[in-house]
């Protein structure tokens, strides 16, 4: 539990060269800020204030409807100290500790934050900083310690002399601070520095000045640079995306998922996969994908917003979006399942088939070159090659309903709305425009005629 969290997200992110506010750029399928909010939530904060400025409306509307977020507006970005000041009115009356995070540090982990908070409390600090090491430390504030290793201050690169500039321990921009101390320290900040900004980092010196003993400031070193690193440009974004996905894939492998070539697969944050499932190279999964146990996902599949049960075999080059596979389903290669495609257990969709807003019943087969849209297909149905449900009349969509055990020959068109009864047989090449009774044979093609000696006549 933590009394309050403040997330700084008002900066423009000039180096992204983007019209979009930096914290709305996506990593693993979610805005950067989303990842930070999730990490904060795991600490069970009583209050959470996000400071926004650049593109504030856009940021706020992106997170509209999400619980617990309070917004503070920083109209002009006068520095990190000023940003925190803007958040304080929202926390009036709140006591205890506040955790301050940057909205552009997407790989931050709640476990690391918890360890950091525990240390801050055990050591009874007024202010604690989470640091890491990076070489070269370009762009970051440097951590300065005395000979005993005690934390003294943070010096921004632009204010640093040569001996400070070479230090490789840097400020991650993550702080735990006693709120009452913070209120006081912020009220004394000045912007007398190289950037003319109000530096939040100056509260370190004010803690040391006011309460020289016992040591009121702590700086806790975290070994993993990536998890504390911020996004300042699109190269950083790509590098962190890579690191995030490596972490995700490694976790899934630890949970029993095989990745034949982990480096080539791209997963969003909200992908879940059951044990003994095998993911082949060059697979893209997410957002909102759940895959059961004992499945195979073939090479070059792209799956989003889909739920896949156990024992499914998805062959290479399939595209699934908004599909549900209830289990034991063979799919593909080259199948396209669009939103609301639903495969009952053991239903099969083969190569070059498209399914949309349709349920394929238990054990039914749609094997080759077929379009099924706005349809309900019963159990044990066989749909022949090249079959089409003609669901659209140019104005409206209509339903095709096929009963259990029906057999649809090849190259059949079913002009919806139309029902095919249970056990009915549709001859190859038939255009079905009227409901077919149960167990009937439907044929609509003209009888084959032979005109003798046609060849001779036509070449005369
Ligand atoms: C700050 C730290 C630096 C640290 C670095 C880590 C200060 C003075 N320096 O650098 O020691 O190594 O973070 O990334 O704090 N922001 C606002 N309003 C502002 C300014 C910034 O909301 O007026 C937000 C930004 O959106 C960003 C975060 O604060 O999320 C950090 O700002 P940024 O400009 O990236 O960092 P620096 O100030 O350069
Ligand atoms: Ca800055």
pLDDT tens per residue across all 460 residues of the chain: 999 999 999 998 899 999 999 999 999 999 999 999 999 999 999 999 999 999 999 999 999 999 999 999 999 999 999 999 999 999 999 999 999 999 999 999 999 999 999 999 999 999 999 999 999 999 999 999 999 999 999 999 999 999 999 999 999 999 999 999 999 999 999 999 999 999 999 999 999 998 877 899 999 999 999 899 999 999 999 999 999 999 999 999 999 999 999 999 999 999 999 999 999 999 999 999 999 999 999 999 999 999 999 999 999 999 999 999 999 999 999 999 999 999 999 999 999 999 999 999 999 999 999 999 999 999 999 999 999 999 999 999 999 999 999 999 999 999 999 999 999 999 999 999 999 999 999 999 899 999 999 988 766 6
Best CA proximity match to 298, nearest among 341, 353, 328, 260: 260
Structure tokens, 295: 């499945």
**Residue 85 DSSP class:** H
SS3 380: coil
Q: How far apart are CA 177 and CA 198, in angstroms?
A: 17
> From the CA of 428, how far away is ligand 1's center (Å)?
69
Atom of ligand 1 nearest to the CA of 154: 11
Atom of ligand 1 nearest to the CA of 81: 15
Question: What H or E segment, with its residue span, contains residue 242?
Answer: helix 234-254
Q: How far apart are CA 431 and CA 329, in angstroms?
A: 29
Helical packing angle, 203-210 and 179-187, nearest 10°: 110
Catalytic residue, chosen from 26, 184, 302, 368, is 368
Best CA proximity match to 37, nearest among 22, 28, 49: 49
Q: How far apart are CA 60 and CA 328, in angstroms?
A: 43
Model pLDDT, residue 460: 60
Cβ atoms of 127 and 145 within 8 Å: the answer is no
Model pLDDT, residue 458: 63
Model pLDDT, residue 457: 73
Model pLDDT, residue 39: 97
Specify whether 368 is catalytic: yes
**Domains of the chain, CATH where assigned:** 4-228 (3.90.550.10), 364-460 (2.160.10.10)
CA distances from 53 to 9, 49, 163, 233, 460 (A): 7, 13, 35, 19, 84
Model pLDDT, residue 436: 98
Strands 169-178 and 336-337, how do they pair?
unpaired
Q: What is the pTM of this model?
A: 0.88
The sign of the dihedral angle between the CA atoms of 372, 373, 375, 376 is positive
Q: How far apart are CA 294 and CA 273, in angstroms?
A: 10
Cβ atoms of 367 and 348 within 8 Å: the answer is yes
Best CA proximity match to 264, nearest among 278, 283, 285: 283
Mutate to test the pocket of ligand 1, among 8, 9, 56, 80 (most ligand atoms within 8 A of CB): 80
Say whether the peptide bond before residue 417 is cis (omega within 30 degrees of 0). yes
Cα-to-chain-centroid distance, residue 21: 18
Q: Which residue has the tokens 């799919």?
A: 331
Cβ atoms of 399 and 417 within 8 Å: the answer is yes
Say whether the peptide bond before residue 287 is cis (omega within 30 degrees of 0). yes
Cβ atoms of 213 and 93 within 8 Å: the answer is no
Q: How far apart are CA 433 and CA 119, in angstroms?
A: 74
CA angle 259, 262, 255 (to 5 degrees): 50
Q: How far apart are CA 408 and CA 338, in angstroms?
A: 22
Which residues does a 6 A CB cutoff place in the pocket of ligand 1? Answer: 8-11, 51, 74, 77-80, 82-83, 102-104, 140-141, 154, 156, 170-173, 199-201, 230
């Amino acid at each position: 539990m933590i009394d309050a969290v403040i997330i700084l997200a008002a900066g423009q992110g000039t180096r992204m060269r983007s019209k979009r506010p930096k914290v709305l750029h996506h990593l693993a399928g979610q805005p950067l800020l989303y990842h930070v909010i999730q990490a904060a939530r795991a600490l069970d904060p009583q209050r959470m204030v996000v400071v926004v400025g650049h593109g504030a409306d856009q940021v706020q509307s992106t997170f509209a409807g999400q619980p617990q977020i309070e917004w503070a507006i920083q109209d002009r970005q006068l520095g990190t100290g000023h940003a925190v000041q803007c958040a304080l009115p929202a926390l009036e009356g709140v006591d205890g500790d506040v955790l301050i995070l940057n909205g552009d540090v997407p790989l931050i982990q709640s476990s690391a934050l918890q360890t950091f908070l525990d240390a801050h409390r055990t050591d009874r600090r007024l202010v604690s900083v989470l640091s890491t090491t990076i070489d070269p430390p370009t762009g970051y504030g440097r951590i300065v310690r005395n000979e005993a290793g005690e934390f003294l201050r943070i010096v921004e690169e632009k204010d640093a002399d040569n001996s400070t500039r070479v230090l490789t321990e840097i400020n991650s921009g993550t702080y735990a601070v006693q709120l009452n101390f913070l209120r006081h320290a912020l009220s004394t900040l000045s912007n007398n520095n190289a950037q003319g900004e109000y530096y939040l980092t100056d509260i370190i010196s004010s803690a040391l000045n006011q309460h020289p003993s016992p040591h009121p400031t702590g700086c806790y070193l975290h070994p993993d640079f990536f998890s504390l690193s911020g996004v300042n440009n699109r190269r950083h974004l790509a590098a962190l995306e890579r690191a995030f996905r490596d972490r995700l894939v490694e976790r899934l492998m630890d949970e029993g998922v095989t990745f034949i070539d982990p480096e080539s697969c791209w997963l969003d944050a909200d992908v879940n996969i059951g044990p003994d499932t095998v993911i082949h190279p060059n697979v893209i999964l997410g957002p909102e994908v759940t895959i059961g146990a004992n499945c195979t996902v073939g090479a070059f599949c792209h799956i989003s917003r889909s739920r896949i049960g156990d024992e499914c075999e998805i062959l290479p080059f399939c595209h699934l979006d908004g599909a549900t596979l209830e289990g034991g389903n063979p799919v593909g290669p080259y199948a396209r399942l669009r939103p609301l495609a639903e495969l009952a257990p053991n239903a099969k969709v083969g190569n070059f088939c498209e399914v949309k807003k349709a349920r394929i019943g238990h054990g039914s087969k749609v094997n080759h070159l077929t379009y099924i849209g706005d349809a309900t297909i019963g159990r044990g149905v066989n749909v022949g090659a090249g079959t089409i449900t003609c669901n659209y009349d140019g104005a409206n969509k209509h339903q095709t309903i096929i009963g259990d055990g029906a057999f649809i020959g090849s190259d059949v068109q079913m002009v919806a709305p139309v029902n095919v009864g249970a056990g009915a047989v549709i001859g190859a090449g038939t255009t079905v425009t009227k409901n077919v009774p149960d167990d009937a044979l439907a044929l609509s093609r003209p009888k084959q005629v032979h005109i003798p000696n046609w060849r001779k006549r036509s070449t005369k």
